[in-house]
Structure formats: C-alpha cells, structure tokens
Structure 1
C-alpha cells in the first residue's frame, strides 16, 4: 500500500533532499529521453529534421508550460489540506481538479491544433524545415490531454509527500518512449512525426496506469460519492491558484518565443545549435526545477500546518544544495560542453558545435540565478501567492523581448546566449523582495491566529 509523507516536523535539509531525489531522478529521466529523442532525430534524420523539432520548442513550452503550471497549482490546495489534516476537503479538491483537467485539456488541444500553422509563420520558421516543424507541433498539441493528466496525477501524489511513485511511472514512460522512438523512426519511417507520436503515446499510457494505481493504492484518497461531486467553490479556488501558475509559464514562454523567433531568423545552423544546446541545458537545470517543486510541497504543507518558520529553514537548506550543484555543473559544462554537443551533431558541423558550446558556457555562469529563481518562486506559489509569483514571469518575458528586439539583430547568436540569463536576473530582482513580503505576511498571520486562540481560551 502506498504511503503519504508529512514534512511539517524534523530537520528541513534531509526532508527536502529525500523528497527531491526521486523528483530529480524523474526529471533527469524526462530530459534523458528528450536528449535521446533529439539524438535519434539528429543522427538518423539529419540536421534539418533536428531543426524542425527545435524550431517549435518555445511554443511547446508555452502550451505545455501552461498545462504543467495549472497542474502544479491544482496540487497546492491538496498539499495545504493534507498538512492541515483536513482529508475530506483534500479528497474533494482531487476530484474537482480531475474534472477541470478534462475540460481544460480538450479545449487547449482543439485551439492549438487550429492555430498551429499560423504560430509557425509568426515565428518566422525557415521554409526548409516548416513542414517537419508543423507535423511535430501538431501531434504534440493533439496529445495535450495526455500530458495534462500525467502531470496532474503526479502533482497530486507529490502533494501527499510521495515523490517516488511518480518517478516509477516516469521511468516507464521514458523507456517506452525511447523504444517507440526507434520503432517509429527506423522501422516505420515516420520521421519527426514518429518522435512526437512516441512521446504522446508513452505519456498517455503512463497517465492511465498512474490513475489506476493512485486510487487503488492510496487509502487516503478513497472518498465518498459526496466528496467526488463537482463543487464550484473548490473549482474557483483551484483555478485561482492554478491558472496564474499556468500563465506564469506561458508569460515566460512568450519571451522565449520572441527569443527563438529572433534566433530562427539567423538561419538553420543557429536553430540546430539552439536545439542541441537547449536539450543539454534542460538536462542540467532540472535539479533546480526539482528543488523548486520540492519547496512548493514543503512550504504548502507547513503553511497548512501554521509553521512559517519552517519555510525559512527550507529556503536556507535548499539554497545550500543549489549552490553546491551549480558549482559542480559550472565545472562540468565549461570543460565538457563540446563533447555533449557531439551527441546530436556530426563532428564535421563545426559551426553548430561551436555555437552550442558558446550557449552552454554562457548559461552555466548564471545557474545560481536560476536556482534562486526556482526556490523562491515555487515557495511563494506553495503558500498560495500564485498571482504574485506570476509577475516574476512578466519580468522574464520583458527581459527576453528586449534582448530579442534590440540585441540579437545587432550581435547575433551571442545575444541569444544571454537571453535566458538576463531573464533569470530580472525575475530574481522581483522575487527577492516578493518573498520577504510574503514571509512577513505569513508570520503576522500566524501571530494573529495565535493571539485570537489565546483570547478565546
């Protein structure tokens, strides 16, 4: 029988580390099959096919980022009610979130499929890779419900303090995705469409199995018919928290789309370099994302339990882990970036290899800024201030747009390399004072509640 885990007592560092490790392994798996996916495309289908997959990366992030953000937001009230031990309301939140996910994912899939071609034209996708990019993007959009449900179910399970179970389902999806990649591309000769179909099918099957397992193995989720009914009040709360988190990812992605659009105009070689560099970068930065997700659950549970002082302890513990990892990654990428690039690109493609190495060298110097961003943003979201956290996405978007409009046309690919770091710095300049404000609010709230209870007693 699967078990839930409270993080409202005990030393913060080992609790967060233990919770983060399965998340990290899961994210590494996800990025590994993303790397393998791109490597198979690049090595077996060629540079144009690799560029086709990469040309729409930021658009995929715009749509799937919104879905994933909503899923993370839907998990926050579940974590808060779990921390407060209000299990009946927690189960109602779970039931309502599943119904919301069904409606939202279908609507998003339909709209994005209709607008797919227009999006690629707006992004100035080169004509020689347009058809491949359209096919890959369309299949990805059709599979939005699969992605939405998998991430929602994982978010609910993590809210209960269990980060191991989602890892096993992600492991299944990763292995299946790689097998299907090879089968669809090499055996069936489906090209870039095969890579997208493999990803969508593996996530969909994993979501179905995750749903069956969750309700069979987690006794705490076994509810009554009344708890499974749709409740508009709870739906409003979920949307109030989830939609701003989704919009934060989408707003961030708008800046990324502008940056990628500017990069697309530099030619196929720059698109291919950007694609390979982003795949490698995403692999290494998933540790920061994992720490952030862990802090969302940790802070949500402790907020529900009325223990804001433990949230500050969690910030310090996660920041220490982040700095150690950032230093390790800096050394590894400064030395090995060119070797990682060879996973995707033939040694004869010297221009692409050099641009990929340059992108990674610039990025890794600013990883501590990204780590701080993830920790603070997810902590603020975990205690329910998702609207405030959303504005950090606005800061990122503005920074990327400014780089895209004014720096890339003048300085070329080197400006593209600095697009993300400038966005991270802009977000941190907002998040640091925002966290101070939120933490003071939480302490004041707990003090007020304590005073009232003493007066009543």
Structure 2
C-alpha cells in the first residue's frame, strides 16, 4: 500500500501521484458544490447567496484544519523516506491525540460564535439567517473533517494517493443523494445541505480509518508507541500549526473581501459564489500537483536527494502551465454552461454576466496560482512551514488592500482583481524563498557529509 517516491523519473512519478489526488480533490469539492448547485436551483438565489456568504469563514476554519493535518503528515513522510518505522508510528499516534484535542476545542468555539461572526461580516439581512444555519452545522462537523483529512494525509505520506479517492467517490455520491432528499423531498433548505455534508464527511472519515487500521501493517503499533510524547507533539505542531495558520492568514484577507463584497448586495454575492465554486473546482488540479510535491519533497529530503526535489519542481512547472492554458480555454467556451449549473441563465442575466467576468479575470492568472502552489507545498515538504506561511501574509495584505481601498472605488471590478493580486504578491515572496530553502538544505547536507568524512579520516 505504500509507495517510495525517491527513485524513478520525477515527471512520471509526480504525474501518477497527482492524478488520484486531483480526482479526490474534485470529489471533495462536490461536497460544497452539490450544496451550491442544488440550493441555487431548487431553493433560490437568496439561499445560494446565503451559502456563498459563508465561503470565506468556512475556509478560515476548515482551511486551518486541513492545513494542520497536512502539516502533521510532513514529518511522517520524511520518516518514511528515512525508513525509521518506529518513530513514524510514534508520530502517527501523537498526531491522533493532537487532532482529537483540536477537534473538540474548535467545534465548541466556532458553533458558539457562528451568529456573531456572520453579523460582524455585515451579511445582508435577507440571507443572514440561512447563512448562520448553514455554517453553524458545517462547524458541528469539524471532528469528521479532522478524521478524514488526517487519515488521508497519512496515506499520502506513505505514498498512497489512490485509496482516499475511492472513499471520496462513494461519499460524494452519498452527499448528492442526501442533498436531493433533504432539500427537495424534506424541504430542509440550507439546513439540509449542511446536514448532508456532515453525514458524508462522517462516512468518509470512518471508512478511511477502518481501512488504514486493517491494511497498513507499517502502522501496527505497540503500547509504548501510542504514548503521548511532548517532543513528538512539539515537532508535529511546528509543522502543522504554521500550515494551518497559513490557510487562516490567507483566509483573513478573504474574510475582509467577503465583508466588502457583502456590502455590494446579495446579487453580487450570488455571482461570486457561482464563479468562485467553478474556480475552486478548476484549481483542484493545481492544488493536487502541490500536494503531490509536498509528499515528494518530504520523502526525498528524508533520502537526502535534493537534486530530485529540484527536478520535481521543474516537472511540476510543465504540468501547471499545460493545465492552466487548457483550463482558460475551457472556461472561455464553457462558462455559461458551467454557471447554468447554479443559476437559471435565462432569468438571472445580470448575475450570470458578473460571474462570467469574475471567472475570466481569475482564470487569466492560473499560471501564477499554480506556481505559488508548487513553491509553497515544496517548501512545506522540506520542513519550512513557517516560511511558507509568510506567503499567506502577502496574500492577506493584497486582499485586504483590495477590499478596503479598491472595492469602495471600483465596486465589482475591484473584487475581480482580488485573487490575481493576492497570487502575484505571494509569488514575489515564494520564489526567492524556494531558492533559499533548497540552497540552505544542500549546504546543510554537504556540511554533514564533510563532517562524516572528516570523522572517518580521524578514525
């Protein structure tokens, strides 16, 4: 079930590792995408806007959870590459304790603060009740988000990117069926969409955990390996917290953007919701390449093969450019069809026009988006999560400036510029950071090699 990424052609290895990740991310997007499509088509524009108004807050919290789980998996990937199985199991066990503690704490806090958060974001009065209901129930499912993403991150760290996909196919189908039943048959509206998402995530997490326990013999632990270790938790947190905070910091800018967009009215919120869901779906491939690079970089660092890391990054560039061009062309010819999944294109003409413009400006900058994702995940895989987190600060600053300065002046066009500006700002930081990280590690490895030679000569 495990896979060693430290040998073989980098382009082929990364591509084959990426494809299951991409399909998995696509199906994971179906959780929220199905909610949005079914709510927009069967409940109405206000319900669509209510779900969309929670997007940035959703990413603020759940992005932290997912980022932290991915961060916990980086030392596991490095230990797998170094073939230190006992310490690997100890890290898996302590990652479990950390996830339980964070899951309980975040659920209690976020559910209690749901309504005040939506009020603080000046959510329009005609959608605030639906928005609070939806996001409150989504937050209630945080423990299941932790469960699935931690199990999946462990599988990827051990080189298995296919198995999480199989579970997501099943649970995405469950989510869509539950959406249809709860929203259409039981007329539960946005509450039905949130409950369907929670149940689907619970199924995905439990099945994945059972599979992990039964099939990955490398993780069969002794009682001693299950014990809490302060030093191990410290190492896991040093990776996980910066990656979680990176998502949170990035999301702060998105929250400010959402606050500014909410002030433009529910029609604009609905347009950006439809366009944003489409953008997230198309960006899955880019995120998957980045996720693959995190595991690839981590394993090759463990094997002291930084030359393969450089080759892997170059291979990823080729994938990013090719995909970005294809995605732009697909959107150019198919944007109305895609928007039609969310809205009635014949009656909501103004909203459709705004959504098309928003998608055009965002898809035009997919290449810098892909580049920043590759650099960021590679840096994280090499163990420099805090450095990668600083790119989130650049994104946050760019979105904050757009939200507070340009949107009041330019209106909707200012909102269209927010993501491209954030992506370019992050690239300006991440590329030099990537070059420095690899060079710094190469020097450390060289120094260690020379020290070993000197010690051998002395002996």
Coarse TM-score class (shorter-chain normalised): over 0.9
Instruction: Give 1:120's aligned residue.
Output: 118
- Provide the rounded CA distance (Å) in 2 between the counterparts of 1:34 and 1:120: 19
Pairwise CA RMSD of aligned residues? 0.8
Offset at 1:148? 1.1
Offset at 1:186? 1.4
Instruction: Give 2:94's aligned residue.
Output: 96
Quick check: 1:411 aligned with 2:415?
A: no
Q: Which runs of 4+ in 1 moved over 3 A?
A: none
Instruction: State which of 10, 30, 34 in structure 1 corresponds to 2:8.
Output: 10
Offset at 1:35? 2.4
Q: Map Cα deviations across residues 176-212 of structure 1 (whole Å, 9 max, x no partner).
A: 1011111111122211011011011111121111111
Tell whether the 8 Å contact from 2:31 to 2:197 is kept in structure 1 after alignment.
no
Shifted more, 29-38 versus 384-393: the winner is 29-38
- Provide the rounded CA distance (Å) in 2 between the counterparts of 1:358 and 1:326: 17
Instruction: Please show how residues 29-428 of structure 1 align to structure 2 within 5 Å.
Output: 29-346=27-344, 347-428=346-427
* Corresponding residue SS for 1:258: helix
Shifted more, 397-406 versus 222-231: the winner is 222-231
Offset at 1:450? 1.2
Q: Map Cα deviations across residues 417-441 of structure 1 (whole Å, 9 max, x no partner).
A: 1101100000000001101110111
Instruction: Give 2:445's aligned residue.
Output: 446
* Corresponding residue SS for 1:311: helix
Tell whether the 8 Å contact from 1:338 to 1:356 is kept in structure 2 after alignment.
no
* Corresponding residue SS for 1:127: coil
Shifted more, 184-193 versus 28-37: the winner is 28-37
Offset at 1:102? 0.4
Tell whether the 8 Å contact from 1:22 to 1:167 is kept in structure 2 after alignment.
yes
* Corresponding residue SS for 2:283: helix
Q: Map Cα deviations across residues 321-362 of structure 1 (whole Å, 9 max, x no partner).
A: 110000101111122212211111112101100000000000
Tell whether the 8 Å contact from 1:29 to 1:174 is kept in structure 2 after alignment.
yes
TM-score normalized by the length of structure 1:
0.99
- Provide the rounded CA distance (Å) in 2 between the counterparts of 1:87 and 1:417: 48
* Corresponding residue SS for 2:360: helix
Offset at 1:79? 0.1
Q: Map Cα deviations across residues 208-238 of structure 1 (whole Å, 9 max, x no partner).
A: 1111110111111112111111111100110
- Provide the rounded CA distance (Å) in 1 between the counterparts of 2:183 and 2:30: 18
Equivalences, count: 455
* Corresponding residue SS for 2:226: coil
Offset at 1:32? 3.3
Offset at 1:37? 1.9
Offset at 1:111? 0.7
5+ residue gaps, structure 1: none
- Provide the rounded CA distance (Å) in 2 between the counterparts of 1:418 and 1:149: 36
Tell whether the 8 Å contact from 1:39 to 1:343 is kept in structure 2 after alignment.
yes
Offset at 1:36? 2.4
Q: Map Cα deviations across residues 242-293 of structure 1 (whole Å, 9 max, x no partner).
A: 0000000000000001111111110010010011011100010111100000
TM-score normalized by the length of structure 2:
0.98
Offset at 1:33? 4.1
- Provide the rounded CA distance (Å) in 1 between the counterparts of 2:203 and 2:322: 37
